[in-house]
Structure 1
Amino acid sequence: MKSLKGKEEAELTSKHASKAKPGKQAQSPAGEQDPQGSKWYTITVDHLRQGKNKVRTRLMLVIGSVAVAGGLVLAGNHYVTANTVPYYVVSVKGQAIGSILNKSELEQLFQQKRAAYQKKYPDASMVLNTNGITTTEEKAFKAQIDSQSTLKQLDKMLTAYAKGVEVTVGDTKIGVVKDQATIDSALKIVQKTYTQKAEAAAANMNKSSVKKLAQSYAYSKKVNKLESVKINQKVAANQIKANPQKLLSSKELAKVMLTGVEAPLKYNVREGDTISSIASSYDISQKEIFEHNPGIKETSLQIGDELTLTVPQPPITVTTVEDYSEQVVTEPDVEIRKSDNMRAGESKVISGGSQGLKRIDYRVVKENGQVLREEWVGQEVVKESSPKIIVKGTKVVVGEGSGNFIWPVSGATVTSPFGQRWGRMHKGIDMVGSSSVMAADDGFVTFAGTMTGYGNAIIIDHRNGYQTLYGHLSQIDVSSGTVVEKGQHIGVMGNTGHSFGTHLHFEVHSGGALQNPLSYLR
């Protein structure tokens, strides 16, 4: 700096010296300041100051420019931030379908859609299927979001299902309902239906309290009570996603339980069956029976014939137990008085006697309205009969009965009584007990062999106007033409012919007309 400063000062001195007037010395006395020297110094300093100011000015301009540029950057960043829009990309199963501004718009669409489906299917519990619908948050400068278009597209894609319960009986699926309450209601309808059927049958039975028939027997039936109604199968319920259009109401489910679907059924003709009674029992027309069984005729219908019936097969089996009683007229005991004045074989009635009355109690078990079995509970005498007195000659006629019958089986229990039984005629009574079968009275064996429907059978003529028949035997121990006595062993109880289990079928005929055996047995 010093050398630079000396150089500048020398240049300035030379310039000032050349400008001095001629003849004048530029020298000053020692110790005095030279006026020209002071001026030079002033110029030199000013010049230096001016240089420094220029540098300072230039520096300030640079700093100002940097500050302005920084301000512009900050202002720009603030503008961009202020105009950056957050939004949400909507995807269905990973595939983007559009964007929305707020998640609340999506939830509002869901609520509207749920309400619409519930309104369309008011009887179902509808669930909107939102699985696979996701949102991802994004941001963009001045983003243009069309929420309406996205929501409109999503609206078309939204589906719903109903909360359902699949109903199963055993291994068979019978329908889908809304909930367990619907199943419970349907089961109550089923039970009520069979209760009403039993009550209607009881009303019809009680309405005709006493009937007198041409065959000289009379009876009346009275249903005392419906003991129980029970659904045999287990009804299971499984939660599923269901089509709301296929949900069954409780009434519709009950109808399926009661009727099921039509399917062929093989039916074996029983004693007393007619086309009319079979049609009535299964609630079908006689025409349908004839159409499915070409060649069958009412007049040629035989016990054991197999018929094809196309009837509904309910998936549910309902067992009903009914208690009823039946009044039976009892014939008078026969009192025999012998007389030496009359020939053997001759007789005279001196007192006709009078009929009595007894009540027999039964329990009937039915499945889906069809009689499964009848159980004899007991009997009670309502009115005693007075005896019929007959005088007979003293000459003994071999094989002639007394007219008083004993039970042909020891410890007998009646399993099916006599008469019109649930739409068909039962010609005798069925009983179980000791396997040994006895003659009910003295008589003469007129038949011992196989009969259609009866299997192994025996017919005894008691030679007093009565005949008795013993059917379904497993063994015959007498032969035709044999004279038998009351209580004598004649065969063994069995299950031959048209029979459902081991039992004895017992009939009483008087003058060729059917009689109620319970009117004679003591």
Structure 2
Amino acid sequence: MKGFKFMRRMGKLRNSDTAESGADVQQSHNFDHDSTHFHQEKGTRRFRRSWILGAVGLVLLTTVLIGAEKKYVAANTETYYQVLVKGKEIGKLNDQAQLNQLYDKKQQEYQDKYPDSTMVLQTEGITIKQEKAYKPEVDSEATLNKLDGMLKAYAVGVQLMVDGKAVGIVKDQETANAVLEGVKNHYVPQTEVATASKLTRTAASSSSAAKAKAAKQVESVKISEEVSIVPVKTDPNKVLDVKEAVKTLTDGKEAPLLYTVQEGDTISGIAKRFEITQKEIYSNNPDVKELTLKIGDTLKLKVPQPDVTVVTVEQVSEQVVTEPEVIVRKSDQLPAGKSKVVRPGQTGLKEMQYRLTKKNGMVVQEEWLGQTVIKSSLPEVVYRGTKVVGEGTGMFSWPVSGATLTSSFGERWSRAHKGLDMVSGNRSIKASDAGTVIFAGVKSGYGNVVIVDHRNGYETYYGHLNSISVSTGQRLEQGAKIGVMGNTGRSTGTHLHFEIRKNGTAVNPMKYLR
């Protein structure tokens, strides 16, 4: 047992020694390892330092290269201008001023081409955008040529509107005003307004009438329709000058017209008034005949109808030669019914004043304003045998008191009128001279009419009467009541139609009335 313990103790001791020896060996091994690690770590530090230095160098080199590249790119970067039409690029320009120069050139080209219009270049939708790029490909000439072919221009002007209807375009407001004045002057010649040039006609029959002296004075000129001016953009070819615009407004367009026949109208007179041929009138109205034309008949015409209506009011002074008064003295030395002129008479001269209202040059209303005796006539003295009741003296008095003329005698203002139309507050009609009633009744065109034969070559007609106070065959003294003024027959209102006929031919009553 003791031996066993001893053996065990000895083993421990060996183990202990072995442990110590192993410790020493381990310590020695650890030293060697540390030495090797030291050398390895030192090498690693050297390598790391070298790598870092290399990396830094590489970075520095890269930085230098990048900086150089940037400088190169910057040195070769150019500014250009992108030209777009409605958002789509059509090309590039080197300089924005090139576009403005093109605009100025095209503007001048259009203005030179249309000198009578104010031209405006259309640049809407054209935009320019500044850009930068490295060595951009810019062809300014090609871009400008392309844009040149695309640029258009329009004219600015004013539209003439008549009652809301567009009738023509002119350059500006000043031109429009000149056009309207030109339209007015078309119906009132400037010579009439400025110089009041005279024109007259004698009161002889229309076949032998000779012109004397008369004057026109314009009271007012106006356009009936509402005329307005509206600014517009337009094709320069549609802009009218003053002459063209006046012609457009005064000529009008040909259109159908229903014309109502008035007193004194003839086919030739209507044709002349509307500047058409008689053949055209007959062609459009096959049932119409000159001799059967009646007041109130409707004619189908096709005539130019102007877009505007110019209403003029003129005072017209017309000189009329007056026939001498005949002074009859009874003589029992002459057979009854016989006469002898012992002193020839001399004609006189008087001036008649009228106010005419016209529409586009055609008379629509005529008003007699009065008369002035310029030269008195010298009466003719006649010796005549025993006076016979019913035989006229050749001296005619007004058939109504306080008469106002509404239409005068003769071929006047495109109308043929065989007598005078007159109105008065006193509607009683009197015999203008002594004579015998040869007709009292209804006659075509005249309605109720009385015809008096004065037994000296003269007859008087009293038409459109409301009632007749005499009968056929009745002898009348001058001033005897004939009837009452009316509106019968082809009449346009209550008035008296009065005629004097000499040997069957209508003469101007103003030559004889006292």
TM-score for both structures, normalised by structure 2: 0.78
Quickly say closer, same or farther: Cα 1:79–1:419, change in 2 above 3 A: same
Q: Is the 8 A contact 1:219 1:328 kept in 2?
A: no
Q: Is the 8 A contact 1:231 1:316 kept in 2?
A: no
> Which deviations, in whole Å up to 9, do the C-alpha atoms of 1:78-121 show, x marking residues without a partner?
33333333333333333344443432232223222222222322
Q: Is the 8 A contact 2:320 2:350 kept in 1?
A: yes
Quote the residue 2:278 is aligned against.
286
Tell me, yes or no, if structure 1 residue 242 matches structure 2 residue 234: yes
SS of structure 2 residue aligned to 1:393: coil
Count of aligned positions: 476
Tell me, yes or no, if structure 1 residue 252 matches structure 2 residue 244: yes
Match 1:513 to one of 490, 505, 509: 505
Q: Is the 8 A contact 1:461 1:467 kept in 2?
A: yes
> Which deviations, in whole Å up to 9, do the C-alpha atoms of 1:306-354 show, x marking residues without a partner?
4333222122233442523222222323334375x889x6453463541
Q: Is the 8 A contact 1:117 1:126 kept in 2?
A: yes
Quote the residue 1:132 is aligned against.
125
Amino acid in structure 1 at the alignment position of 2:63 = G
Moved more, 122-131 or 329-338: 329-338
Quickly say closer, same or farther: Cα 1:438–1:53, change in 2 above 3 A: same
> Which deviations, in whole Å up to 9, do the C-alpha atoms of 1:253-294 show, x marking residues without a partner?
011122111223333444554443333333333333333333
Amino acid in structure 2 at the alignment position of 1:441 = D
Give 1:297 shift. Answer: 4.3
Match 1:428 to one of 419, 423, 426: 419
RMSD: 3.9
Q: Is the 8 A contact 2:263 2:491 kept in 1?
A: no
Tell me, yes or no, if structure 1 residue 416 matches structure 2 residue 407: yes
Matches within 5 A, 1:406-485: 406-434=397-425, 435-485=427-477
Tell me, yes or no, if structure 1 residue 393 matches structure 2 residue 383: no
Aligned-residue sequence identity (percent) comes to 43
Q: Is the 8 A contact 2:196 2:216 kept in 1?
A: no
Match 1:265 to one of 257, 261, 264: 257
Distance 2:108 2:466 in 1: 74
Give 1:126 shift. Answer: 1.1
TM-score for both structures, normalised by structure 1: 0.77
Distance 1:452 1:171 in 2: 46
Match 1:72 to one of 54, 59, 65: 65
Quickly say closer, same or farther: Cα 1:352–1:470, change in 2 above 3 A: farther
Distance 1:196 1:409 in 2: 38
Give 1:302 shift. Answer: 4.8
Matches within 5 A, 1:300-449: 300-320=292-312, 321-337=314-330, 346-349=337-340, 351=342, 353-363=344-354, 364-381=356-373, 382-393=375-386, 397=389, 399-434=390-425, 435-449=427-441
SS of structure 1 residue aligned to 2:154: strand
Match 2:163 to one of 170, 176, 179: 170
Tell me, yes or no, if structure 1 residue 160 matches structure 2 residue 153: yes
Moved more, 428-437 or 150-159: 150-159
Q: Which consecutive unaligned segments of at least 5 residues does structure 1 have? A: 1-6, 12-47
Quickly say closer, same or farther: Cα 1:197–1:88, change in 2 above 3 A: closer
Distance 1:419 1:510 in 2: 15
Moved more, 102-111 or 219-228: 219-228
Quickly say closer, same or farther: Cα 1:210–1:94, change in 2 above 3 A: same
Distance 2:203 2:377 in 1: 20
Tell me, yes or no, if structure 1 residue 496 matches structure 2 residue 493: no
SS of structure 1 residue aligned to 2:513: coil
SS of structure 2 residue aligned to 1:408: coil
Give 1:139 shift. Answer: 3.2
Q: Which consecutive unaligned segments of at least 5 residues does structure 2 have? A: 1-27, 33-40
Q: Is the 8 A contact 2:203 2:321 kept in 1?
A: no
Quote the residue 2:187 is aligned against.
194
Give 1:458 shift. Answer: 2.0
Distance 1:376 1:86 in 2: 87
Q: Is the 8 A contact 2:325 2:395 kept in 1?
A: no
Amino acid in structure 2 at the alignment position of 1:259 = D
Q: Is the 8 A contact 1:400 1:463 kept in 2?
A: yes
Amino acid in structure 1 at the alignment position of 2:347 = G
Give 1:244 shift. Answer: 0.8
Distance 1:214 1:500 in 2: 25
Q: Is the 8 A contact 1:472 1:499 kept in 2?
A: yes
Q: Is the 8 A contact 1:333 1:385 kept in 2?
A: no
Quickly say closer, same or farther: Cα 1:82–1:352, change in 2 above 3 A: same
Amino acid in structure 1 at the alignment position of 2:246 = A
